[in-house]
Amino acid sequence: MTIYSFYIYDRHCACVYYQDWHRTKRPRPAVEGGILNAVSRAVAPQAADTSAANLSTSSTTAEDSSSIFTQAALDTPRSNALTFDEEAKLVYGVILSLRNMIKKLSGRDEQFTSYRTSAYKLHFYGTISGYKFVMLSDPSTDGLRFVLRQIYNGPFVDYVVRNPLVPMDSREQGVDNDYFRASVDRLVRGLVVFD
Amino acid sequence: MAIFSLWVINKAGGLVYQRNFADGLAQLTSNEYLVLAGTLHGIHAITSRLSPIGSSSGAQVIEGDSFKMTILLTATGTKFVLLTSPGETTAELVLQKAFEAYADAVMKNPFHTPEMPIRSDGFESRINTLIGSGQP
């Protein structure tokens, strides 16, 4: 049982925030111009040499070297791994198509809530204002919409909506900031399903 | 606990069988069902690529507020989709049985053209006994 990743999309279909925890298959950094600024430092566009420099500076202590190597092995861009901007678009495409499909099939204004594969489960929560919260977790997890709602009610309202330094709806800027990130991290790590 | 509908989607994404068993979902035209089946086929392929931890199957269960879709992908690429109420626990079993009925009454039928719509009384009656006749 664990949580893998968390995305927020705004009503203009753009990914405005990303965070991940136990992912073993990380996306490659986004290409230049593929995503907005201030979405996530981990997947922001970067030149290949800077990531190599980061690894070499962090591997100065001998006792850390084993973990650094595994980290490096995990971060090695493989040809089959998607770049983050591609992945973000695919996630958005899937939730949008499923939302439309569920609406069409039910004939009501009904929300799509989750889907499950053999490896993960995707949870979805859409707000009235058009923000879409998406979380990927272990497939055996129960519904996590309440967590997405908590993130919206708590950290999102406190550190994004009420934060004058975050331009919402700007189409140029994501909503990433240190307080929000730390607050989401604390909330998710405090969950029973997180370990 | 209700079973709303059964779809069979061929390996190219075409809907070859669709039947409603209970009311509760919108009544759509056969054209709309064809479009939805094609969409589902595409989504199914994408979901297997979005895995955060290595390889994954496509979507197996898709849930809405008032119903869920359970998807069985067979080794030949044919998909069996069952639309049920969210609490239905027998969906996987029913799909497996529907696949058996398909193998017996459709694939062994010399008059059936593969990948084409299923028009077989044998399959209909097997499904009737499996799920119940419901409304046509």
Q: Is B11 contained in some domain?
A: yes
Contact predicate B135/B23, CB 8 Å: yes
Fold of the domain spanning A3-40+82-188: Beta-Lactamase (3.30.450)
* Nearest alpha carbon to residue A124 among A114, A116, A137: A114
pLDDT at B45: 93
Query: Which chain B positions have a beta carbon within 8 Å of A101's beta carbon?
Result: 36, 39-40, 43
Using CB atoms, pick whichever of A94, A100, A106 lies closest to residue B47. Answer: A94
Tokens of A28: 């490659």
* Nearest alpha carbon to residue A92 among A175, A172, A37, A14: A14
Q: Is B88 contained in some domain?
A: yes
pTM for this predicted structure: 0.84
Query: How much is the ipTM here?
Result: 0.89
Q: What pLDDT digit, counting tens, does each position of A8-39 carry?
A: 999 998 999 999 988 888 888 888 888 888 88
- Give the pLDDT band of residue A78 (cuts 50, 70, 90): low
What span, in angstroms and rounded, lies between the C-alpha atoms of B125 and B133? 9
Give the Å distances, CA to CA, from A126 to A9, A29, A115, B5.
9, 26, 15, 27
What are the residue ranges of helices labelled H in A76-171?
84-106, 145-151
Q: Please report, for the domain that includes residue B37, its CATH number.
A: 3.30.450.70
Q: Is B13 contained in some domain?
A: yes
Instruction: Tell if the CB–CB gap between A105 and B36 is shorter than 8 Å.
Output: yes
Q: Where are the domains of chain A?
A: 3-40+82-188
Q: Is B83 contained in some domain?
A: yes
Q: What pLDDT digit, counting tens, does each position of A97-145 carry?
A: 999 999 999 888 888 999 999 999 999 999 999 999 999 999 998 889 9
Total number of domains in chain B: 1
Tokens of B102: 């398909």
Question: Which residues 63-82 of A are in CB contact (within 8 Å) with B?
Answer: 82
Its domain, for residue B65, covers 3-131
